[in-house]
Amino acid sequence: MLTNAAAKAAEAPLARAYKLHDQGGLHLLVRPTGSKSWQLKYRWRGREKLLTIGQFPAVNVAQARMAQANAKADLERGVDPGAKLIRGNDTNDTLEQLARAWHRHNQPTWSAAHAADVLGSLERDIFPELGERPIGAIQPPELLNAMRSVERRGNVVSAQRLRQRLSEIFAFGVAEGLCTGNPAANLGAAMREAPPATPHPALTQIESCRQLLQACEYLPARPMTKLASRYLALTVVRLDSVRGMRWGELEGLDGSQPVWHVPPARLKLKRSKKDEERFEHLVPLVPAAVDVLRQAAGVRAWNQVDSTALVFPGRFEDQPIGEGAIGELYKRAGFAGRHVPHGWRASFSTIMNETLSEGWRASIDATLGHAKGDKVEAAYNRSQLLERRRMVLQGWAELLVG
């Protein structure tokens, strides 16, 4: 990928023009005259086309990439970017362009669910009114009005998150040289404070936990939803980890120490792709959990299951069970307001800390995948405590399902 320094250092050839390639069809054309122009090669309705974005250095690398990304967004909307005048200077860059560039910059380190949530909040609450505004012309009161519209819907927490995202977007723009100030930086002083977080409803008596699982078994519901619920309760992971689970993440199911490798993308972790193995969460699978997986596989043997397929698909094989499917199951079982899917983690922590001695606390926390408070220790102490965690989960399974 190009840098501003590399673009500046490019020398004019003696006889003919040449290209310095960047990404996604974007390149810098260096002509014999010494002029340097950003061009974007793309396909429109089966034909190859070329879009000239602007000249370097009036249009720097970051601005050219923003124009390239904007053109890609036009193509996805069925619009030929060549029919529009795409400028790269900061007087014409809009808030939507800047926000989408910031989103693309951070997306590789976010989970798919978080990335969709971030973009969705901007598309819903910012782009309709302010998306086309030049970033250099936006004033704090405009952003504050947008935040207060969200607050009036009763979403104070969402408004605070949106304020934080806008501040990060403008900070990104300042760093890239696309704007000179951050009009979102001080909005918090005029916004309502978010209320204290409400804990997820969770059962804290093992008898009630058993009753919930038993009640679900007798309800008329999709088998995969019931199996996913049981597996969630036995592994005490987060719901997204189970919904997106694929067969290729499982190891040693025929052995005595089967393990599930949960990738960071489905955890509450912000990591790069190169950290996948280092920061994955290993879940020791006890016999009760493996039995659920056997039921999910049906008549197929482990080596006959597609490693890329979802373990618990929804109504369509390539889509996970609905985000609210297990929660609805619990409501129908008569546990509305008493327990939610995420509540299994609190149930497990409460009951196992009461059941086991103080010496097991670290193993219980490790089972839940809680990050260590000491960041230095977290970086160097990668002990997974797998055997102790397997013992904890086996004890939990015996209490829960016998």
Task: Kindly indicate the confidence band of residue 274, based on its pLDDT and cuts at 50, 70 and 90.
Answer: very low
Q: Are residues 150 and 247 in the same domain?
A: no
By percentage, how much of the chain surpasses pLDDT 70? 88
Nearest of 334, 327, 396, 321 to residue 363 by alpha carbon: 396
Q: Are residues 241 and 150 in the same domain?
A: no
Nearest of 313, 258, 249 to residue 280 by alpha carbon: 249
Query: Does 96 score more than 70 pLDDT?
Result: yes
| pLDDT, position 373 | 47
Average pLDDT over residues 237-257: 93
Q: Are residues 239 and 371 in the same domain?
A: yes
Give a yes or no: residue 195 inside a domain.
Answer: no
Q: Are residues 305 and 266 in the same domain?
A: yes
By percentage, how much of the chain surpasses pLDDT 90? 47
Structure tokens given for 42: 């793309």
- Spatial strand order of the sheet with 250-251 comes to 250-251, 259-262, 281-284
In angstroms, what CA-CA distances link 224 with 122, 138, 227, 228, 240? 34, 49, 5, 6, 15
Q: Are residues 276 and 384 in the same domain?
A: yes
β-pairing verdict for 36-44 and 26-30: antiparallel
Q: Any idea which of 150-164, 352-366, 374-388 has the lowest mean pLDDT?
A: 374-388
Average pLDDT over residues 324-336: 95
| pLDDT, position 322 | 87
Query: Does 342 score more than 60 pLDDT?
Result: yes
Q: Are residues 263 and 135 in the same domain?
A: no
Last residue of a domain, one of 83, 105, 135: 83
In angstroms, what CA-CA distances link 282 with 17, 42, 278, 370, 397? 54, 43, 10, 12, 17
Last residue of a domain, one of 43, 63, 83: 83
Query: Does 14 score more than 80 pLDDT?
Result: no
Q: Are residues 210 and 157 in the same domain?
A: no
Task: Kindly indicate the confidence band of residue 90, based on its pLDDT and cuts at 50, 70 and 90.
Answer: very low
Q: Which residue has the higher pLDDT, 39 or 271?
A: 39
- Average pLDDT over the chain, rounded to whole? 85
* Spatial distance between the Cα atoms of 244 and 265, rounded to a whole number of angstroms: 10
SS3 category, 260? strand
Give a yes or no: residue 243 inside a domain.
Answer: yes
Task: Kindly indicate the confidence band of residue 230, based on its pLDDT and cuts at 50, 70 and 90.
Answer: very high
Give a yes or no: residue 175 inside a domain.
Answer: yes
Give a yes or no: residue 89 inside a domain.
Answer: no
HSE-up (13 A, CA, CB side) for residue 209: 29
SS3 category, 331? helix
Give a yes or no: residue 90 inside a domain.
Answer: no
Average pLDDT over residues 147-153: 92
| pLDDT, position 272 | 40
Ramachandran bin of 321, using left for φ above 0, alpha for ψ from -120 to 50, beta for the remaining angles: beta
CATH of the domain at 20: 3.30.160.390
Q: Are residues 369 and 290 in the same domain?
A: yes
Task: Kindly indicate the confidence band of residue 170, based on its pLDDT and cuts at 50, 70 and 90.
Answer: very high
Task: Give the alpha-carbon dihedral of 174, 176, 177, 181, to 10 degrees.
Answer: -10
Query: Does 87 score more than 50 pLDDT?
Result: no
Alpha helices in 335-385 (DSSP H): 343-355, 361-367, 375-380
Q: Are residues 52 and 107 in the same domain?
A: no
Nearest of 237, 240, 220 to residue 324 by alpha carbon: 240
Residue 11 sits in which domain range? 4-83
CATH of the domain at 390: 1.10.443.10
SS3 category, 131? coil
| pLDDT, position 398 | 97
Structure tokens given for 358: 């103080």
| pLDDT, position 380 | 42
pLDDT tens for each residue of 279-327: 578 999 999 999 999 999 997 788 788 999 999 998 888 888 988 899 9
Task: Kindly indicate the confidence band of residue 83, based on its pLDDT and cuts at 50, 70 and 90.
Answer: low
* Spatial distance between the Cα atoms of 89 and 92, rounded to a whole number of angstroms: 6
Q: Are residues 179 and 54 in the same domain?
A: no
| pLDDT, position 389 | 93
* Spatial distance between the Cα atoms of 152 and 25, rounded to a whole number of angstroms: 44
**Which residue has 């199996």 as its token pair?**
227
Task: Kindly indicate the confidence band of residue 30, based on its pLDDT and cuts at 50, 70 and 90.
Answer: confident
Give a yes or no: residue 211 inside a domain.
Answer: yes
Structure tokens given for 375: 């960041």
Q: Are residues 267 and 180 in the same domain?
A: no
Contact between residue 225 and residue 343 where contact means Cβ atoms under 8 Å apart: no
Query: Does 268 score more than 80 pLDDT?
Result: no
Task: Kindly indicate the confidence band of residue 376, based on its pLDDT and cuts at 50, 70 and 90.
Answer: very low
Ramachandran bin of 35, using left for φ above 0, alpha for ψ from -120 to 50, beta for the remaining angles: beta
Task: Kindly indicate the confidence band of residue 74, based on its pLDDT and cuts at 50, 70 and 90.
Answer: confident
Residue 50 dihedral angles phi and psi, to the nearest 5°:
-130, 130
- CB-based contacts of 96, cutoff 8 Å, min separation 6: 122, 126, 127, 131, 132
**Total domain count, the chain:** 3
Q: Are residues 149 and 219 in the same domain?
A: no
